[in-house]
Amino acid sequence: MERCASTCLSLGCGANLVRSIWDISRAEMAGLYDVDANVLDRSDDPARDLSRLAGISRLMTDSRAYLKTCISWRREITEKQDQDAQLVDSPASQDGSL
């Protein structure tokens, strides 16, 4: 949990500055997700686990919904980046036919 503490501090949820989940952008949540993506991708409840990484002690229904949209957005962005990388690495792009 040491990494969690440093991540929380970088998000501003440390003892000196308390932020609501609504103050944490989906891009920040995506970055936090990326830190432990391997674990969160296998989690039974990634929203709950992501909330713990963000230092959120109680996960309310609306907070869970927000985290789920952040996770979905992050996955969509990652898929798009993977598809773009595959296009760049494809043989057709290397021979100039694209």
- Residue 33: give the domain boundaries: 2-93
Inside any domain, residue 41: yes
Confidence of residue 72 (pLDDT cuts 50, 70, 90): very high
At 97 the pLDDT is 55
Q: Which residue has 């990484």 as its token pair?
A: 53
pLDDT tens per residue, range 14-42: 444 567 888 889 999 999 999 999 999 99
Angle, helices 2-11/26-35, rounded to nearest 10 degrees? 160
How many structural domains comprise the chain? 1
Q: What is this structure's pTM? A: 0.67
Inside any domain, residue 42: yes
Task: Return the structure tokens found at 45.
Answer: 């409840």
pLDDT tens per residue, range 40-69: 999 999 999 999 988 887 889 999 999 999
Inside any domain, residue 25: yes
At 9 the pLDDT is 44
Inside any domain, residue 98: no
Inside any domain, residue 63: yes
- In whole angstroms, give the CA distance from residue 67 to residue 47: 6
Answer for the pair 77, 55: CB distance below 8 angstroms, yes or no: no
**1-15, 35-49, 71-85, range with the lowest pLDDT:** 1-15
